[in-house]
Amino acid sequence: MAIMDLEYIEIDGLLYPNIEVEGSELLKNLRKYGRLRLEYLHGFKQEMYRKLLFTGKLAEHCAAVDMRAFELSERIRADYLKQHPMPEEDALERIRISEQAQAVADEIVKTELIYV
């Protein structure tokens, strides 16, 4: 067994090892879909979460899912808006259609990329 020299931080009289997760800066900068994927892995796919965490690929995985999810979301939203054109004169209807387009895109992205 290898002995590791770790630095410790004292908090309220207890010593905690000063361990930093690889890619922690990338994890802090995740957007909506990347954070959703991280939360899903942590809550429901613990084995996959631990494997990615211990191999140092968790941040990279979540960032990749985040990027693909945003691209897919934008394509779905644009397609929805082509099928449902916005009226020029009714601002409330424009807002409703825009929100509906985003809701449809979110639902599809979550089903196909986040919760798998």
Q: Give the number of other Cβ atoms within 10 Å of residue 31's Cβ.
A: 13
> What is the per-residue pLDDT for 4?
59
> What is the per-residue pLDDT for 64?
96
> What is the per-residue pLDDT for 54?
84
What is the token pair recorded at 85?
């054109």
Collect the ranges in the chain with pLDDT lower than 70: 1-4, 19-23
> What is the per-residue pLDDT for 9?
85
d(C-alpha 110, C-alpha 37), whole Å: 9
